Each structure stands twice: as structure tokens, then as C-alpha cells.
Amino acid sequence: MKIGIGCDHAAFSMKEEIRAYLTAKGHEVTDYGTYSEARCDYPVYGEKVALAVKNGEVERGVLICGTGVGISLAANKVQGIRAAVCSEPYTAQMAVRHNHAQIIAFGARVIGIDMAKMITDAFLEASCEGGRHAKRVELIREIEARFRTE
């Protein structure tokens, strides 16, 4: 699968490990940065990965910051993007099955690397269920459209 990954300085080392993990599993991973532990701003990387998903450069995205919150908030500002913050695999799986999330986010200061790998696996192995869930996702889209200003 084509996967985009992004992080801020707080999660640089975890991003490197997850990138290597996914690459070793045969995924085609595009790294949207950050590329060092130098302090940076998480919205930049949330937007980059969200745009890559929106434009079809990648199928799914993985975002990591200190908590997963800031970077997911930024990604969710891109129209049509659903980024879910998770700290365990069940929510990661359900975020795809029921909420059709295209991006998973987690916090390098919240969980360890083994949990991060389990969350990533659960997210990538899950498929959207459609049906009644698609209708609810459509309702989210309608809210987004009502408040669109551009």
C-alpha cells in the first residue's frame, strides 16, 4: 500500500521506526518530514500528509506528534480528510471500519513503539464497512460543506 507518514520533532524517532517497519513489510512509504529533532510546527506536517491523501499520492496516512492531537487537528482541516487519534488498536481498526478514516494519528509521548506498530497494523488491515456507516460519514461531509468558506 502507498502510505504517507509525517511527524513533528517530538515524534521524529518514532516516525523513523514506523517508516522502517512499514517499508520492511513491503509498503511504499513516502516520508513528508520532519527529518530531524529540530523544533518544528506540527500543523505543517499534518497538512502535508492530509493533502497527499486528498490528492491520491498515497492511500493512507500515519501522523505522529507528542500526543497525536495537534497533528490530527491540522489534518482534519483539509476538506474530506478524517484523521483519528488512537492509543490502542481497537479504536484504530474501528476508525476505518465505521468512520472511514484515511489517517491514523498517535502520540510518541503517550504510547511505546510496540503499541504504535500494533495500532498501525490494525489501521492498515481494516477496511471501510460502508452501508449505514457510509451514511454517517456523509453526514460529516455535509457539516463540512455547510461551514466551508473558501
- Could you list the active site residues? 65, 98
Q: Whose grid coordinates read 513533528?
A: 8
CB 51 within 8 A of CB 78: yes
Nearer to ligand RB5, 33 or 133 (CB): 33
Nearer to ligand RB5, 27 or 82 (CB): 82
Work out how close the CB of 11 gets to ligand RB5 at its nearest, in angstroms, rounded to a whole number. 7
Distance CA 9, CA 109 (A): 11
Nearer to ligand RB5, 49 or 126 (CB): 49
Distance CA 75, CA 7 (A): 12
Work out how close the CB of 44 gets to ligand RB5 at its nearest, in angstroms, rounded to a whole number. 12
Work out how close the CB of 35 gets to ligand RB5 at its nearest, in angstroms, rounded to a whole number. 16
What's the DSSP call for residue 100? -
Distances from the Cα of 58 to the Cαs of 42, 68, 82, 131, in angstroms?
20, 20, 14, 24
**Contact residues for ligand RB5, defined by CB under 6 A:** 8, 10, 42, 65-67, 69-70
